[in-house]
């Protein structure tokens, strides 16, 4: 009539108190009259109480919040300082220039463009200049030294700024 899985599902619903009221009286009647239902109910009820004892939530310590908050490090420097308006305007100008350039290029170079004016790129060639003297080891080493010196100066300035903030 009922499989053991079906009986277990119904009894768990009964134990958890989530089965409909009309089902409660029927399950109580089956537990009282049917030996299979009674044994499964007894096993599941024992398991329910055992799990409740093991899994019962314990009360946290009364001063837990105070302990946690005392160990939380509050930052000394916040990111809420106002931005320099010139920096914001400069970044906005760069983005607007990029967008305007992309739109202009798309309209100018598209084949099915509705723009009447079509710009033709003039063809020209650069004069042949002998620049082999730039590839000498002395000049290359000098360029590397200048770049290294600039990197050291930049790092020094960054470290000094960081120390000043802390």
What average pLDDT does the segment 12-25 reach? 85
Q: Which of 6, 53, 49, 46 is nearest to 30 (CA)?
A: 6
Q: Who has greater pLDDT, 75 or 91? A: 91
Q: How many CB atoms lie within 10 A of CB 37?
A: 19
* pTM (global) more than 0.85: no
pLDDT tens, residue by residue, 81-139:
677 788 889 999 999 999 998 888 777 766 665 555 556 667 778 787 777 777 788 88
Yes or no: say if 22 and 12 are a contact pair by the CB < 8 Å rule. no
Q: What is the pLDDT of residue 7?
A: 84
Tell me how far apart the alpha carbons of residues 166 and 164 are, in angstroms, rounded to a whole number: 6
pLDDT tens, residue by residue, 28-72:
888 899 888 888 889 888 888 877 655 555 666 667 777 777 777
Residue 40, C-beta contacts closer than 8 angstroms, at least 6 positions apart: 4, 7, 8, 11
């Amino acid at each position: 009539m009922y499989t053991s899985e079906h009986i277990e599902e119904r009894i768990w619903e009964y134990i958890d108190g989530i089965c409909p009221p009309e089902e409660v009286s029927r399950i109580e009647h089956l537990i009282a009259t049917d030996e299979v239902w009674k044994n499964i109910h007894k096993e599941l009820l024992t398991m329910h109480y055992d799990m409740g004892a093991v899994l019962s939530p314990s009360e946290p310590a009364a001063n837990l919040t105070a302990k946690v908050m005392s160990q939380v490090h509050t930052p000394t420097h916040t990111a809420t300082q106002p931005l320099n308006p010139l920096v914001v305007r400069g970044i906005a100008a760069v983005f607007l220039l990029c967008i305007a350039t992309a739109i202009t290029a798309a309209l100018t170079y598209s084949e099915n463009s509705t723009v009447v004016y079509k710009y033709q790129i003039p063809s020209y060639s650069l004069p042949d200049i002998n620049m082999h003297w730039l590839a000498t080891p002395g000049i290359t080493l000098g360029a590397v030294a200048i770049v290294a010196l600039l990197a050291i100066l930049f790092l020094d300035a960054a470290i000094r700024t960081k120390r000043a903030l802390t």
